[in-house]
Amino acid sequence: MARISSVTVCGIAAAALAVVAGAGCRLIPRSGPVPQEVADARRLCNEGLSAADRKDLLRAEGLLEQAVKNCPTDVDARRHYADVLWQRGERMAAVTQIAEALRLSPGDTSLCIDGGRMYMELGLLDDADRLSREAVRVAPRSEKAWRLHGQVALARGRPEEALADYHRALAIAPDDRELILDTAEIYRRLGRPQRALATLAILGESYPPNQTPPQVLALEGMAQEALDRPTDAIESYRQAVARGLDSQDVATRLAKLEQAAAEDRSQTAIAETPAGVLRQ
């Protein structure tokens, strides 16, 4: 029996994309013999993912690159290849892979979200906005899609729109801690520290005692500082630093508040000292 060429196999898969949900080598029927090229692509992809799990990103990149070459229509292989390229700092190459995967599987929500995040981090906000809008159009019940839409709005200087998007996401996933934290941050940026603290209080209740993450404590400190509660802010900042937060901004804020508190104590001590003692 003649060996089936990779061009023939992937040509069949590409044609099937037009009528079958899914993509790439996943389209090959589970029953019957699997073409060798497809089997090789699957094996290489799995080995690449295993290497990535071991943090051997160089080997993962090589294996996933070969998997894509074996079956160029395999959307999953391209998705994983893009992720490894991104982790290795090869960002434009990663975006190229995501763009090709989206061409093969248009309207794929997870690809839109992955691509949108990449474009946003590269500062390509028009492209990020386009993909975030496509994500919420295709999957209006996806909290990840609404979160991306909100992140893009925030990056474009539209915090009110971002807040609305985050509330939509929270309506779908009310217990998502990252969503709650980001929502509190938007309230803080909007100059609504009381709402930020109320949101953070809800988040804090979801953690065991004395296990609140330092990022949450730092944001609490900023809200307390904005409400002119320096003593509470100092305590929150100190706890955040004690729990491993490495933030120059927080360190600077804490130092300024501690210096101001020390000066206040000094002035109070002088004011309370009897005049006769001061003249001696």
For 194, the token pair is 């009381």
Query: Which residue matches tokens 């995967």?
Result: 101
Q: What is the pTM of this model?
A: 0.78
The whole-angstrom separation of Cα 89 and Cα 20 is: 34
What number is the average pLDDT over the span 76-100? 96
**Would the pLDDT of 28 be above 90?**
no
Of 4-8, 64-68, 196-200, 214-218, the range with the lowest mean pLDDT is: 4-8
pLDDT at 98: 96
In the predicted model, is pLDDT for residue 32 greater than 60?
no
Domain ranges of the chain: 48-106
pLDDT digits (tens, 9 = 90+) for 144-165: 999 999 999 999 999 999 999 9
**What number does CATH give the domain 48-106?**
1.25.40.10
- C-alpha to C-alpha distances, 32 to 1, 2, 15, 35, 239, nearest whole angstrom: 15, 17, 20, 10, 61
Rounded to 10°, the helix 36-53/6-16 angle is: 80
Residue 51 confidence (pLDDT) above 90: yes
- Asked if residues 225 and 257 have their Cβ atoms less than 8 Å apart, the reply is yes
Residue 26 — pLDDT band, cuts 50, 70, 90?
very low
Question: What is the mean pLDDT of the segment spanning 194-214?
Answer: 95
CA gap 207, 172 in Å, rounded: 21
Report how far residue 251's alpha carbon sits from residue 237's, in angstroms, rounded to the nearest whole number: 8
- Dump pLDDT digits (tens) for 105-150: 998 999 999 999 999 999 999 999 999 999 999 999 999 999 999 9
For residue 122, count other CB atoms closer than 10 A to its CB: 14
Backbone angles phi, psi at 160, to 5 degrees: -65, -45
Mean pLDDT of 265-271: 77
